[in-house]
A = this chain, B = another copy of it.
Amino acid sequence: MTPPTTPITPSSGSVLDEHRTSPGLLLALIGQEAMRRLRDAHTAHNLKPRQFQILGLLHDHGGLAQRDLVGTMGVDPSIIVTLLNPLEADGLVARERDPADRRRHLVTLTAAGERHLADASAAQKQAEDALFAALDTDQREQLRDLLLALRDGLAVDPESACSAVAETVRYG
């Protein structure tokens, strides 16, 4: 990525001025930056955001079939496979057949996976603190409340990928 150099000061009176400071674009771009920073925190622990999310889900539920991950994360089964393979190779998760239904592969978090998740989680927390350094405690709470309201409003829309957001708001 080429770093930005000479910024161009926008002229005034533009037809599009209102868009420049619109919450929608601010939200999209700042959200991108937030994701980038969280991703960097995860990359430092050799994890993609989706892999971090998987570890978190396994931590919470103790063991899930890949089909469950597909449903919860809203991601294609083939993607789940490519995400799990390196995790398994690194010994962070284990795959075993479900005795009750041998089609299902139960995925569980290993002890090493638990430790790794805790480490990555701490790194993510640190990245978030840096991200919100400009806001005081009250402002952070304000922002979180607004975002939660926004999220719930979006989740109502049935025909949007945002139901996935609403259900799996965690870990990036």
Q: Which residues of B contact A72 (CB under 8 A)?
A: 4, 6-8
| Chain B nearest Cβ from A17, distance in angstroms | 9
Among B3, B146, B163, B165, point to the contact of A146 (Cβ < 8 A).
B146
Interface SS, A side: helix
Contact in complex: B23, A140 (CB < 8 Å): yes
Contact in complex: B167, A29 (CB < 8 Å): no
Q: How far is the CA of A61 from the CA of B56 in the complex (A)?
A: 47
Contact in complex: B38, A31 (CB < 8 Å): no
- Let me know if A153 is at the binding interface, CB within 8 A: yes
Contact mask for chain A residues 73-107; partner B; CB cutoff 8 A; 1 contact, 0 none: 11111000000000000000000000000000000
